[in-house]
Structure 1
Amino acid sequence: MGGSIQRALDSLRELLENDRFSTGGRLPPERTLAGKLGISRSVLRKALSTLEDEGRIWRHVGRGTFAGTKPQIGQEEFSSVSSVTNPGEIMEARLVLEPKLASMAAVRATMSELAHLETIEMKSREAVNTAAFEHWDGLLHQTIAKATDNSLLISLFVVIHKVRQSDIWGSLKKATLNNEHRKIYLEQHRNLVKALKDRNGPMAEKLMREHLETVRQHLLEVPPLE
């Protein structure tokens, strides 16, 4: 990758990780953004394409470029689901769905997707703050889901993922994501990615289940939020 593109990527990632653009927020027009970063629009487009592949942004023809992942269903449907569920149900649903997604991904993931997972796992280790770690953690699970190449299962995953962005879930994550827990999750992610690269479906399923059980246990340790 060219040096100018890499510098553009670093600048854009810094803007996104520092929450300069909230999830779902629209980025400035290409001309404005290119001028701000001091790069050509062609370099900017290549950098944006890479970020789109990473799940950091999405583009809507005629409307612009937005931070976060592309919505799969209407926001009102997410609001309806989040208003009648709770973190316990969310974790229960994740434990039903995500281990099977990991098993399928071990068989179906492309070499490019496996390389992407390895990069994500490495980036999560380099995360300098909780927000950055949360981004890479979410992207790891999202990439595993996408690797199943099953549109219905991916849609189910997206619903759960979006509901997890509710205020109460955000408060729980802040209460549980300490340095000790991060180290545990990083090691679990490393082992999971290795199982996926080894095409070991049963092991990937087992490791994903153990990881989510750990997350659930940490959530149960949090005193009730007022």
Structure 2
Amino acid sequence: MTNGRTMDALTRPAPAERLDAVSALRALIADRPYAPGDRLPPERELIVSLGISRATLRKALDALEREGAIWRHVGKGTFVAGHANGRPAGGLDMLSRSLTPVRMMRARLCIEPAIAREAAINASQAAIVGIRRAQDRARTALSWRAYEAQDDALHRAIAEATDNILLLSLFDQLNQVRRAVAWDAVIRVSDRPPAEHPSFAEHDRIAAAIEARDPAAAQDAMRRHIGSVSARLFGEV
């Protein structure tokens, strides 16, 4: 009889297999070509057309989502966010070259608090679980890079909780620009976020307000969080 560990080894994609699947997905997006906002075929079609397993496909989709090349909405599908290399597409790339980090953060202050407000109004229980899961993963991240990936996932989970595909698309575009503008401007002095990292408590307040279905508190908590991040990283709000 095959034990659990052996079965897990048989079903888990090997690293080389995952890389091949990521490359195949990038090629599919580039060859069609898909535009930002276009929906990819369902998973069952991608499994057949790419000749890979469901587990391998999902790992590859996870990788492209972390890069910012795609975004996923539960129940609606997988959508192209930009070029498969994770860089902003077209006009977004031009925007990222024109914005300072502070102006980028001010744009976030205009948009993300309103998204948090909508999340508090519309979030399903599954969406709240997703927010809490991303929050926990951010808190336990072992490096700044891992933390930033989970912080991305948390903010995106909040946008997804709005159940508004236009707001989610706006968030994804803003987030692509944020990556391009901010990542090279931030200097870290430790290997990982400290236990007392202010964002942890700020995330707690945002998630609690959404879970309590309190739109005003969620909007205020997100506004305070982004202002705090801007002040810590760039000295301005």
Q: TM-score, normalised by structure 2?
A: 0.66
Moved more, 76-85 or 123-132: 76-85
In structure 2, distance between residues paired with 1:191 and 1:133? 18
Unaligned runs of 5+ in 2: 26-51, 71-79, 84-88
Counterpart of 1:184 in structure 2 is 198
Partner of 1:141: 155
Match 1:194 to one of 205, 208, 222:
208
Contact 1:124 1:137 in 2 (8 A): yes
1:172 positional shift: 2.5
Post-superposition offset of 1:107: 1.3
2:58 aligned with 1:45: no
Which residue type is aligned with residue 173 of structure 1? Answer: V
Superposed counterparts of 1:62-141, under 5 Å: 68-70=68-70, 71-73=80-82, 75-141=89-155
* CA pair 68-5 structure 1, distance change in 2 beyond 3 A: farther
- In structure 2, relative to structure 1, the CA distance for the partners of 1:153 and 1:181 (3 Å cut) is farther
1:27 correspondence with 2:22 = yes
User: How many residues in Structure 1 have an aligned counterpart in Structure 2?
Assistant: 192
In 2, the alpha carbon distance for the partners of 1:173 and 1:117 equals: 25
Q: Which residue of 2 aligns with 1:216?
A: 230
- Report the Cα offset of residue 170 of structure 1: 1.2
Deviation for aligned residue 1:212:
0.4
Q: Which amino acid aligns with 1:27?
A: V
Q: Following TM superposition, by how much is the alpha carbon of 1:149 offset from its aligned partner in structure 2, in angstroms?
A: 2.4
Provide the C-alpha distance between the structure 1 equivalents of 2:9 and 2:143, rounded to a whole number of angstroms.
22
Q: 193-202 or 130-139: which moved more?
A: 193-202
**Cα 1:171–1:57 shift into 2, 3 Å:** closer
Q: Determine the structure 1 residue equivalent to 2:183.
A: 170
CA pair 181-164 structure 1, distance change in 2 beyond 3 A: farther
Q: CA deviation at 1:48?
A: 4.5
Deviation, 1:94, is: 0.5
RMSD, matched Cα: 3.7
- Quick check: 2:13–2:55 contact (8 Å CA) kept in 1? no
Q: CA deviation at 1:186?
A: 1.2
Could you tell me how far apart the structure 2 residues matched to 1:97 and 1:7 are?
A: 44
Q: 1:213 to 1:148 in 2, by over 3 A?
A: same
Please give the TM-score of this superposition, normalised by the length of structure 1: 0.69
Can you list the C-alpha shifts for 1:58-91, whole angstroms capped at 9, x where unaligned? 5xxxxxxx95441435612221111221111111
Q: Find the residue that maps to 2:81 and give its secondary structure.
A: coil
Structure 1's 209 and 5: CA in aligned 2 closer, same or farther, altered over 3 A? farther
Between the aligned partners of 1:210 and 1:94, the Cα distance in structure 2 is 11
Shift of 1:198: 1.5
Q: Mark the CA change 1:190 to 1:96 in structure 2 (over 3 Å): closer, same or farther.
A: same
- Alpha-carbon deviations, 1:102-131, whole Å to 9, x = none? 010011112111111111111111111011
Using the TM superposition, name which of 143-152 and 211-220 deviates more: 143-152
Contact 1:6/1:47, CA 8 A, preserved across alignment: no
Query: Which ranges in structure 1 are unaligned for 5 or more consecutive residues?
Result: 31-42, 59-65
Contact 2:21 2:57 in 1 (8 A): no
